[in-house]
C-alpha cells in the first residue's frame, strides 16, 4: 500500500475498526449467543467511536450528525471518498 499521511493513517484505523465490527455483525447474525464475538464487537466499537471523534475534530465529519458548528454546515467542506487525494 502507498505511503500514508496522518489523516490517511487515522482513516485506515477507522476503516479497520468498522470492518471488524461489520465482520462481527454478520457472524453474530448467525451466532447470536457467541459471547466472544460480542466482546470483539464491543471492543472495536469503542475504538471506532474514539477514532471517529478524533477524525471529525481534526479533519471533518464522517456522518452528518457529527455536525458541530452552529454557524456553518460542515458536511460540504470535506471530499467524498471517491476523490483520490483525500485532502
Partner 1 sequence: MWQYEKKLQYPVKIKNPDPALAKVIISQLGGPDGELAASLRYLSQRYSAPTREVQAILNDIGTEELSHMEMIGTILYQLTRNLSIKEIKESGFDVYFVDHTAAIYPIAASGVPFSADYFQSKGDPLTDLHEDLAAEQKARTTYDNILRLADDPDVRDPIKFLREREIVHYQRFGEALRKTQDLLDSKNFYAFNPSFDK
- Say whether residue 62 binds partner 1 (CB under 8 A): yes
- Say whether residue 3 binds partner 1 (CB under 8 A): no
Query: Cβ 2 to partner 1, closest distance in Å?
Result: 6
Give the contact letters, 25-54, x = binds to partner 1 (CB under 8 A), - = no: xxx-xxxx----------------------
H-state helical runs in 1-87: 6-30, 35-58
**Contacts of residue 24, Cβ cutoff 8 Å, sequence gap at least 6:** 37, 38, 40, 41, 44
- Say whether residue 17 binds partner 1 (CB under 8 A): no
CB 55 within 8 A of CB 68: no
- Say whether residue 64 binds partner 1 (CB under 8 A): yes
Amino acid at each position: 500500500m502507498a505511503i500514508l499521511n496522518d489523516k490517511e493513517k487515522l482513516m485506515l484505523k477507522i476503516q479497520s475498526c468498522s470492518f471488524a465490527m461489520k465482520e462481527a455483525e454478520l457472524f453474530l447474525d448467525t451466532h447470536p449467543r457467541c459471547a466472544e464475538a460480542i466482546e470483539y464487537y464491543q471492543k472495536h466499537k469503542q475504538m471506532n467511536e474514539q477514532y471517529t471523534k478524533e477524525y471529525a475534530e481534526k479533519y471533518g465529519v464522517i456522518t452528518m450528525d457529527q455536525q458541530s458548528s452552529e454557524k456553518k454546515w460542515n458536511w460540504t467542506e470535506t471530499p467524498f471518498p471517491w476523490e483520490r487525494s483525500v485532502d
